[in-house]
Structure 1
Amino acid sequence: MSIKEDNPLLHLTAGAAAGTFGVLATSPLEVLKTRQQSTVSSYSSRSVHTNESGVKRLHTAAGKPPSLRAQYHAIVAEEGFRGLYKGLTPSIGAVASSKALFFWMYSECRKHVRKHCNQGQVVHLTSGTLTGLINSIILNPFWVIKTKLQLDEKKCSRSAVRKTIKEMWAAEPYMRAFFRGSSASIVGSFEFGMFFLIYEELKPRSAFTENNYLQALSKVAFASTVSKIVSSTCLYPTEVIRTRLREDLETPEKSRKYRKFWRTCSTIYKEEGLNGMYRGWVLHLFKTVPFTMITFGVYELVLHLFQRQDKRALSY
């Protein structure tokens, strides 16, 4: 490895740039996906009523979600075009920070794991899983805020983020509201390990050449696409469970319906079957595959440009 490849600032910068580009390009799809995963959103259910406080609750288990086209038009009509970008502020903060930390931590984890094991597949699987685990726990509060903003069907306002944080702070003691869904995030960490296990095997060791960026980006796009489709499909139910754990849906006894990972998993499967575990899955792939392609393409390109600049500097 060159000196630049070992520089933490390089991975932090490349990761932040990659995450920012990715979230800006795919934010509307993320909002639509979250609404489909949820049972709180009236756009995702057949039978809802409004309680005295104005909060929508389901009479029964959620019905089949509407088509993406219908859901898109409903959001634009009821909440305005800005409704498709709800949660963008915490998303950019979380994703830029997340990807910066993610790529840096993966580089560091891989370096330390290699000291104890030289088998490539084990290194990639272990490093990816550890990276996903640490990253998910640290940034869980950002994702909770983002999910709540995306499930809010009121018109967008500049004070929405501050108001959401204030409500969450008052809702539960010891900041528990900010760590809802963390158990699902921990289980979902295996997706990152599976992703890197496949990605590192498919990606050429030296994807970029001096004058062939398009071909290099195509190779990275192919490797990241295949890796994401396989890993995301296998672990997707953890995404749905995580969204449900962050909902405020109440039972007739006025307690939260979705609590604890395995109980929520069981409830979804009993009430909605396997389809419930994969609600929003197609949209998730439509969103996450382009996001992954953009993120890893930008990351690999920035790494290459930094290394190229470093070589030029050393040649003078």
Structure 2
Amino acid sequence: MSARAESGFVREASQQILAGGSAGLVEICLMHPLDVVKTRFQIQGGENDLHRYKSVGDSFRVIFRTEGLFGFFKGILPPILAETPKRAVKFFTFEQYKKLLGYMPLSPALTFAIAGLGSGLTEAIVVNPFEVVKVGLQANRNSFAEQPSTLGYARQIVKKEGFGFQGLNKGFTATLGRHGVFNMVYFGFYFNVKNIIPVHQDPTLELLRKFGIGLLSGTIASVTNIPFDVAKSRIQGPQPVPGQIKYRTCFKTIATIYQEEGFFALYKGLIPKIMRLGPGGAVMLLVYEYTYSWLQENW
């Protein structure tokens, strides 16, 4: 690679990383309360669960009444710390996989989907330890002031269970499934549909066009991948009986939930998930595209 080509690649990569990190930071700050609600729904068990929430509205009321406003921001530090590298990896690897797949005889539709799958699997490797800490903090039902710090809780996990698949990386296969499936649908749908619907010359209408497609992309991807998300929350969250590991592997956890709680239990937390990742997914794509475009023009 020539010095000029290497310099061009570094500039392009830096632009994609900065744009992706910005997109993640904006999205997490806006949408984290819905992630807390989603996780609470996913970790609750059957009708006998003493902390069972009746609806999304009920969960908001109960959390606010018992844990205060900051209860909605439990576990936010891990995703904030993870979002910059996570979304940077997500968008950077998507662009690079897309470029690599461009050399192969694939249709554009398949190229976008496979590049999305690859970016999701790569993203999962980066984010899984942060997810373990985040879910554990979100599952804590004590008041915000009584819960352990992010670093303190991470140390507890490492001290008790280590860094492996029973410790800071538990739920790894479920996280691979969650991110791989989500990004495959998310990027595949967004870029294929965006290329079909005509571009508007009016900037406001063009913004709405992209937001609408992004909203659909995030919604459809959320519906598609949520069984993996529920399995991940069960594996990474507190086990039903302290000291006994009931939820250990991804597909066995999905099968257990299906057998004991029924098909719809695999879609627990779907409404808050869609409420977060529908508009959140649109926000991410818009922030990424407009930031990346600005960086290309000004850097």
When normalised by structure 2's length, the TM-score is 0.88
* Superposition deviation, residue 193 in structure 1: 1.2
Q: Distance in 1 between matches of 2:198 and 2:284?
A: 15
Q: Distance in 2 between matches of 1:45 and 1:100?
A: 41
* Superposition deviation, residue 6 in structure 1: 6.7
| Secondary structure, aligned partner of 2:248 | coil
Equivalent in the alignment of 1:271: 260
Amino acid at match of 2:193: L
Indicate the percent of aligned positions where both proteins have the same amino acid: 22
1:284 to 252, 258, 273: 273
Equivalent in the alignment of 1:193: 184
1:13 to 10, 18, 42: 18
* Superposition deviation, residue 45 in structure 1: 5.8
Q: Distance in 2 between matches of 1:122 and 1:82?
A: 43
Amino acid at match of 1:67: S
Runs of 5+ consecutive residues of structure 2 not aligned to the other structure = 1-7
- Which structure would you say has the larger Rg? 1
Residues 115-154 of structure 1: pairs in structure 2 closer than 5 A = 115-154=103-142
Aligned length: 289
Q: Distance in 2 between matches of 1:145 and 1:242?
A: 12
Equivalent in the alignment of 1:203: 194
1:184 to 165, 174, 180: 174
* Superposition deviation, residue 159 in structure 1: 5.0
Q: 1:208 to 1:148 in 2, by over 3 A?
A: farther
Q: Distance in 2 between matches of 1:5 and 1:171?
A: 41
Q: Distance in 2 between matches of 1:19 and 1:225?
A: 16
Deviations 1:106-160 (A, max 9, x none): 1111111112234212211111101100110121101111111111112224851
Runs of 5+ consecutive residues of structure 1 not aligned to the other structure = 49-55, 57-62, 311-316
Contact 1:144 1:178 in 2 (8 A): yes
1:238 to 217, 228, 232: 228
Contact 1:207 1:216 in 2 (8 A): no
Contact 1:106 1:127 in 2 (8 A): yes
Q: Distance in 2 between matches of 1:87 and 1:187?
A: 22
Amino acid at match of 2:21: A
Q: Distance in 1 between matches of 2:100 and 2:20?
A: 20
Q: Distance in 2 between matches of 1:230 and 1:205?
A: 18
Q: Distance in 2 between matches of 1:230 and 1:20?
A: 22
Equivalent in the alignment of 1:75: 63
Q: 1:107 to 1:207 in 2, by over 3 A?
A: farther
Deviations 1:37-75 (A, max 9, x none): 1127xxx96444xxxxxxx9xxxxxx6x41222211211
* Superposition deviation, residue 294 in structure 1: 0.9
CA RMSD after TM alignment: 2.5
Q: Distance in 2 between matches of 1:4 and 1:225?
A: 31
User: Where has structure 1 moved over 6 Å in runs of 4 or more?
Assistant: 205-209
> Which has the higher mean CA deviation after the structures are superposed, 65-74 or 262-271?
65-74
Q: 1:115 to 1:248 in 2, by over 3 A?
A: same
Q: Which has the higher helix share?
A: 2
> Which has the higher mean CA deviation after the structures are superposed, 151-160 or 218-227?
151-160
**1:167 is the counterpart of 2:156:** yes
